[in-house]
């Protein structure tokens, strides 16, 4: 009996490699927050799908560029970690030169799109965010755990980029949205670093607050930052003009209390299972919070 086998075409295989190179799912999440923050800007009252799609495309190009540089730089370290060994550059399916060329073209096109279709300020922040992530945060991960602090800036700047793209200024609303995502990243990153500690240590990454690995101090830090999310979460309702109303404020309070609870359980239980719960809780936190703010504005 003949057994039918199917193989991917060279085009589909290459397309899959580029999807992995840009870390598509991560990029999509980052750009999602950027687009929501654009829609939250008071000046954006007409939800023009053309502008939304242009912002999404520019954001994916810029974020994809940063991730491509990250994978090109970390080719050797990715190769020794189980969860990243199959990435296209680490696995040898794509050369570093190809990744760098893609990153250069995608980054330039994305930044120019931000300038042409939106404004110069959003383009400048976009370029700065790309530079900070690719050339400061990426190499710093092997030097010091301060990399998490540095990485939190480009991680949160998409919120400010979206706001500035819609509002064309650096008003309080944009900084509050930036602050929500900035503080959120600490329990999020430390939970990931806790779960993947063995892999990260093998690659020489220093992403936990102490070089002794997952400790009570790490759990306490995650808990402290989750508590800091509480006062920041009510600010969107109290600035003038407010970003949103009372309903989203209570959603944010509930989401923040849930994060505090998960981090408190991590401090109590001190195991990978609890860290994984913090990690997954942080993943669902952002869409709940930002969609609640947008729904309240609408």
C-alpha distances (whole Å) from 38 to each of 43, 95, 166, 177, 225 are 9, 36, 5, 11, 26
Q: What residues contact 161, with CB distance under 8 A and at least 6 apart? A: 34, 37, 59, 114, 122, 125, 126, 129
Burial of 46 (0-12, 13-18, 19+ CB in 10 A): exposed
Return the percent helix, strand and coil in the chain, to nearest 5.
75, 0, 25
Q: Residue 247 has which token pair?
A: 């309903």
For 204: left if phi > 0, alpha if psi spans -120 to 50, otherwise beta; the answer is left
Tokens 């009510």, located at residue: 234
Digits of tens for pLDDT over the chain (298 positions)?
444 444 567 888 888 988 999 999 889 999 999 999 999 999 888 888 999 999 999 999 999 999 999 999 989 888 888 888 899 999 899 999 999 999 999 999 999 999 999 999 999 999 999 999 999 998 998 888 899 999 999 999 999 999 999 999 999 999 999 999 999 999 999 999 999 888 888 888 888 888 788 999 999 999 999 999 999 888 988 887 888 888 889 999 999 999 999 999 999 999 999 999 999 999 999 999 999 999 988 7
pLDDT of residue 81: 85
pLDDT of residue 51: 95
CA pair distance 203, 141, nearest whole angstrom: 10
The DSSP 8-state label assigned to residue 88 in this structure reads T
Give residue 13's Cα distance to chain centre: 26
pTM over 0.95: no
C-alpha distances (whole Å) from 18 to each of 13, 14, 88, 94, 294 are 9, 6, 8, 9, 32
pLDDT of residue 8: 62
CA atoms within 13 A on the CB side of 58: 28
């Amino acid at each position: 009996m003949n057994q039918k086998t199917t193989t991917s075409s060279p085009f589909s295989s290459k397309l899959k490699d580029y999807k992995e190179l840009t870390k598509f799912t991560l990029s999509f999440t980052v750009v999602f927050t950027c687009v929501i923050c654009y829609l939250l800007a008071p000046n954006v009252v007409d939800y023009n799908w053309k502008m939304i799609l242009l912002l999404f495309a520019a954001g994916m190009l810029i974020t994809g560029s940063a991730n491509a540089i990250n994978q090109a730089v970390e080719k050797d370290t990715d190769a020794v970690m189980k969860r990243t060994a199959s990435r296209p550059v680490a696995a040898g399916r794509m050369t570093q030169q190809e990744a760098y060329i893609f990153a250069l073209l995608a980054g330039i096109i994305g930044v120019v799109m931000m300038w042409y279709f939106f404004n110069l300020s959003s383009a400048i922040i976009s370029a700065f965010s790309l530079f900070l992530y690719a050339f400061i945060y990426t190499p710093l991960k092997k030097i010091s755990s301060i990399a998490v602090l540095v990485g939190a800036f480009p991680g949160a700047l998409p919120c400010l980029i979206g706001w500035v793209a819609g509002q064309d200024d650096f008003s309080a609303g944009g900084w509050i949205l930036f602050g929500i995502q900035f503080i959120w990243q600490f329990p999020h990153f430390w939970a990931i670093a806790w779960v993947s500690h063995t892999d990260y240590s093998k690659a020489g990454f220093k992403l936990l607050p102490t070089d002794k690995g997952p400790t009570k101090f790490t759990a306490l830090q995650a808990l402290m930052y989750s508590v800091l999310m509480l006062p920041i979460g009510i600010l969107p309702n109290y600035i003038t003009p407010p970003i949103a109303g009372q309903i989203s404020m209570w959603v944010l309070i509930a989401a923040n209390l849930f994060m505090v609870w998960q981090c408190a359980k991590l401090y109590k239980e001190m195991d990978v299972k609890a860290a994984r719960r913090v990690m997954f809780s942080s993943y669902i936190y952002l869409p709940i919070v930002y969609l609640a703010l947008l729904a309240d504005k609408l």
